[in-house]
Amino acid sequence: MADQTHLSNLSGNKKAWPVYLTLGNLPATRRNRPGSFAVLLLALLPVPPKLTKSFADHLQRQINADTLRGVFELLFEPLQNAALEGVNIDCADGKVRRCFPILSAWIADHMENVALHEIKSNVCPKCEVLPGELETHANSHRARDYARYERGERESASDDSRTMFETLGIDLEKNVFHRLHRVSAPGLHKPDLLHTVYLGLFKHLMDWISGFLKKHARLQAFDDNWKALPPYSGFFVPKKAYCEVTQWQGKEMRNLGRCLLGVLAVALRQPDSRQVIPFKHALDCVRALVDFNMMAQYRSHTPETIAYMEEYLYRFHRMKDIFLEFRVSKRTRAKVDKQRKELRHQRAQSNMRVAPSKRRRRLEEDRDEENELRMDMIHTESHFNFVKMHLLSHFSDHIRQFGNIPMYSTEFGELAHKEQIKDGWRPSNKNDVERQILHSYGRQHAIRMRLSNLNSLRCRGANLGDDVLGYLDKTTSTVSTPAPRGRILKGRRDDVSDVLDFCKVLGISLDRICLELIRYSRHNLPTERRLPEEPAILQLLPVELLTQLEIPVLAFQETDVYDIHRARCTGTHRFRNQESRNDWVWVQAGSEEMYGALRGRLRAKLVALFKIRDCSQDTVRQLAGVQMLSPVNSGRPSDVHSLVTVQLREDAREFTLVDIGAILGLAHLIPEGDRRWLVNSRIDLRTFNEIY
Ligand SMILES: [Zn+2]
């Protein structure tokens, strides 16, 4: 794994180019956890300075490439023998096995792969696709085969093979992976969500969408929705208007993928007759890419999920032409302008002879013709031939061969850079930096591994000296507590002590509350446990009002990892000096077959979280007051954008009581106006998998 990182913008834009090493058969969740020691800093590569195109720099570039190759030969040398002869390795089960460690993946962004594979920048490191075919959907291009190229080179040093090498963008001599034993250089390349999707296609897509929204005068609507997004677990609510955001990093792009479809769907609602088709195509295209990205994050796959991914990608390719006009280069734009000028000039001459009565119709026809010619020109001149567009077509094959995609994520980089590079850079003397960084982390790593080993020996009851035990107690953290399984109410308010106060604070009449309490008690509690129904007694029952509910939600495709959703309900009180927060939640309201795609679960707004004590039985009930939304169209997803709409009906009860156990987690709703919301099913993988 390798990825360049900035050390400091001072002292001459200092950069580091670290190479990390890890074992392929570790679970990705463990590898990417802070302090896991699963990723080891192996080397710091020489960072070549930026060069111009002059001859002196050409020479320098040669020298750089040779140096890099030399460094890699040094790095790979220990692997070469081990891969051929094998080495004896102590395994965790106490057995010793003959192992053949090989380099199985090289995780890096595209430009780095370009440098190391020594290929051209618009060329795929895995297959022989031609630069002009990068935008096509087919993934049937022949895999790169360096052994064949080498044979070709040996057998015929003719012009033919040189042309072939030129077309395929290959320089065998400089490919650092080329001569590794038991390694296929094209197989080292792994798909990468961060660079290919978030920083690649999503970035392009946002440019096209901006152009599209401007053309149809919907940019303002998009921006308004963007700023009105509600909070959600792990989602950063945008503080700025979309067009004011200047820096789009991986984190922001990932956030964008979670809400883009919903925000766009609201911005493009109520199209006029000419907008219906283009709006539908644009939403289809965006939806296909968003869904492809969602499914690419799955940690386990079945043939069905892979088939879905391929279908999404196919749909994206089929629909992407709707955005082609926003990929117009300056050259094409100039051509289009010239064509229009000529056309108008010709017309001006021929239209002079047309009677004024016919002139208007003629003008309309002319405009249509002009548009058609313009689109023709754009379609022949513009294209989507860039390499990241093509790399998507390798995703599904990768899953079939190697398993899930997050496993090979480049996102480990940020963490590793901090722990292993930047923490070593800061105390260094800034002169002999590389050596100091390598030593500093190497030592820390060795010490921590030793402590881990001692700790594990201790757990198995090994006889360790008192001084060692004392030291272990001081340095190793205690076992972390397991995730809570129950719901927890927090944030007690002190202005409520009984049902009467409760009514005043919520601004709901006592009759209403009593009615709801009785209704809840009759529907949910066994006869002998019911609340008293006498209003005089009921209104004096002690009540505690709370502002937060923690709900553990099982993480998607996990069996023991929980995400904690924190639902806030502050009533009219302000939350952290901002507006009051009364979150949207999911409530289990019926059986699986109910409410279409929502599967028995309804969206609701939290109105109150409270505990009520029934003094006669000395029991405490933990309840939530919610306002239920009803699904529109029986919960069927829309044909246009595939999202479900919910609404607050005029006749909806302002207050329904449910057990806090019926609250399943936070919900993400995108306001659509007039008491209607879109259910954002792309907000996380769990919701995506459950609502469709
Ligand atoms: Zn390819």
Q: How remote is the CA of residue 196 from the centroid of ligand 1, in Å?
A: 13
The one-letter amino acid code at 84 reads L
d(CA 23, CA 103): 10
Same domain, yes or no, for 55 and 113? Answer: yes
Task: Identify whether the C-beta of residue 632 lies closer than 8 Å to the C-beta of residue 647.
Answer: yes
d(CA 550, CA 566): 5
Q: How remote is the CA of residue 391 from the centroid of ligand 1, in Å?
A: 6
Reference 584, options 630, 627, 648; nearest CA is: 627
Domain's final residue, options 327, 360, 392: 327
Query: Is residue 251 situated within a structural domain?
Result: yes
Same domain, yes or no, for 528 and 677? Answer: yes
Q: How remote is the CA of residue 126 from the centroid of ligand 1, in Å?
A: 5
What is the number of domains present in the chain?
5
pLDDT digits 0-9 by tens, 133-164? 888 877 678 888 877 777 777 776 666 777 77
Query: Is residue 60 situated within a structural domain?
Result: yes
Q: How remote is the CA of residue 300 from the centroid of ligand 1, in Å?
A: 23
Task: Identify whether the C-beta of residue 252 lies closer than 8 Å to the C-beta of residue 245.
Answer: yes
Mean pLDDT of 209-223: 92
Least reliable range by pLDDT among 154-158, 462-466, 577-581, 673-677: 154-158
d(CA 410, CA 195): 8
Query: Is residue 452 situated within a structural domain?
Result: no
Q: Is the pLDDT of residue 11 over 80?
A: no
Q: Quickly state the pLDDT bin for 10 (edges 50, 70, 90).
A: very low
Q: How remote is the CA of residue 399 from the centroid of ligand 1, in Å?
A: 15
The pLDDT value recorded for residue 31 is: 76
Q: How remote is the CA of residue 139 from the centroid of ligand 1, in Å?
A: 7
Q: Quickly state the pLDDT bin for 472 (edges 50, 70, 90).
A: confident
Q: How remote is the CA of residue 96 from the centroid of ligand 1, in Å?
A: 40
The pLDDT value recorded for residue 475 is: 73
d(CA 420, CA 434): 12
Q: How remote is the CA of residue 141 from the centroid of ligand 1, in Å?
A: 7
Q: How remote is the CA of residue 560 from the centroid of ligand 1, in Å?
A: 37
Q: Is the pLDDT of residue 266 over 90?
A: yes
To which H or E segment does residue 346 belong? Answer: helix 330-351
The pLDDT value recorded for residue 578 is: 66
Q: How remote is the CA of residue 287 from the centroid of ligand 1, in Å?
A: 24
Q: How remote is the CA of residue 390 from the centroid of ligand 1, in Å?
A: 6
Query: Is residue 362 situated within a structural domain?
Result: yes
Query: Above pLDDT 70, what percent of the chain?
Result: 92
Q: How remote is the CA of residue 144 from the centroid of ligand 1, in Å?
A: 9
Same domain, yes or no, for 499 and 628? Answer: yes
Q: How remote is the CA of residue 623 from the centroid of ligand 1, in Å?
A: 56
d(CA 154, CA 456): 55
Q: Is the pLDDT of residue 121 over 90?
A: no
Q: Is the pLDDT of residue 560 over 80?
A: no
Q: How remote is the CA of residue 298 from the centroid of ligand 1, in Å?
A: 22
- Residues whose CB is less than 8 angstroms from the CB of residue 437 and which lie 6 or more positions away in sequence, other chains included: 16, 41, 44, 420, 421, 424, 425, 428
Q: How remote is the CA of residue 296 from the centroid of ligand 1, in Å?
A: 17
Alpha carbon distances (Å) from 232 to 337, 608, 673? 47, 19, 20
Mean pLDDT of 476-484: 54
Q: Quickly state the pLDDT bin for 477 (edges 50, 70, 90).
A: low
Q: How remote is the CA of residue 134 from the centroid of ligand 1, in Å?
A: 8
Q: How remote is the CA of residue 3 from the centroid of ligand 1, in Å?
A: 21
Domain's final residue, options 262, 293, 327: 327
Query: Is residue 402 situated within a structural domain?
Result: no
Least reliable range by pLDDT among 4-8, 355-359, 494-498, 620-624: 4-8
Q: How remote is the CA of residue 125 from the centroid of ligand 1, in Å?
A: 7
The pLDDT value recorded for residue 539 is: 86
Q: How remote is the CA of residue 143 from the centroid of ligand 1, in Å?
A: 7
Which is more confident, 480 or 43?
43
Same domain, yes or no, for 161 and 198? Answer: no
Q: Quickly state the pLDDT bin for 29 (edges 50, 70, 90).
A: confident
Q: How remote is the CA of residue 167 from the centroid of ligand 1, in Å?
A: 14
Same domain, yes or no, for 76 and 157? Answer: no
Same domain, yes or no, for 265 and 370? Answer: no
The pLDDT value recorded for residue 118 is: 81
d(CA 594, CA 257): 29
Same domain, yes or no, for 561 and 620? Answer: yes
Q: How remote is the CA of residue 488 from the centroid of ligand 1, in Å?
A: 50
Alpha carbon distances (Å) from 679 to 28, 684, 686? 31, 12, 14
Query: Above pLDDT 90, what percent of the chain?
Result: 24
pLDDT digits 0-9 by tens, 306-317? 999 999 999 999
Q: CB neighbours (10 Å) of residue 681?
A: 25
Query: Is residue 108 situated within a structural domain?
Result: yes
Same domain, yes or no, for 510 and 601? Answer: yes
Helices (H) and strands (E) in the chain, counts: 24, 17
Q: Is the pLDDT of residue 483 over 70?
A: no
Query: Is residue 679 situated within a structural domain?
Result: yes
Q: Is the pLDDT of residue 559 over 60?
A: yes
Same domain, yes or no, for 12 and 71? Answer: yes
pTM for this prediction: 0.85
Q: How remote is the CA of residue 394 from the centroid of ligand 1, in Å?
A: 6
Same domain, yes or no, for 184 and 275? Answer: no
Q: How remote is the CA of residue 403 from the centroid of ligand 1, in Å?
A: 18
Q: How remote is the CA of residue 189 from the centroid of ligand 1, in Å?
A: 10
Q: How remote is the CA of residue 393 from the centroid of ligand 1, in Å?
A: 7
Q: How remote is the CA of residue 135 from the centroid of ligand 1, in Å?
A: 11
Q: Is the pLDDT of residue 577 over 70?
A: no
Q: How remote is the CA of residue 282 from the centroid of ligand 1, in Å?
A: 26
Query: Is residue 81 situated within a structural domain?
Result: yes
d(CA 326, CA 323): 6
Q: How remote is the CA of residue 64 from the centroid of ligand 1, in Å?
A: 27
Q: Is the pLDDT of residue 538 over 70?
A: yes
Tokens at 639, concatenated: 């044909």
Tokens at 675, concatenated: 């008491």
Q: How remote is the CA of residue 61 from the centroid of ligand 1, in Å?
A: 27
d(CA 548, CA 566): 7
Q: Find the distance separating the first CA and the last CA of the chain, reported in whole Å.
A: 37
Q: Is the pLDDT of residue 505 over 50?
A: yes
Tokens at 547, concatenated: 């502002």
Handedness of CA 208, 210, 214, 216 (dihedral sign): positive
Q: At CA 450, angle to CA 444 and CA 451, rounded to 5?
A: 90
Give the structural domain span for 249: 193-327
Q: How remote is the CA of residue 186 from the centroid of ligand 1, in Å?
A: 9
Least reliable range by pLDDT among 66-75, 204-213, 260-269: 66-75
Q: At CA 188, angle to CA 184 and CA 193, rounded to 5?
A: 155
Residues at Cβ < 5 Å from ligand 1 ion: 124, 126-127, 129
Same domain, yes or no, for 262 and 341? Answer: no
Same domain, yes or no, for 650 and 528? Answer: yes
Buried b (16+ CB within 10 A) or exposed e, 451-485: eeebeeebeeeeeeeeeeeeeeeeeeeeeeeeeee
The one-letter amino acid code at 119 reads I
pLDDT digits 0-9 by tens, 415-453? 777 777 888 888 888 778 888 888 888 888 888 888 888
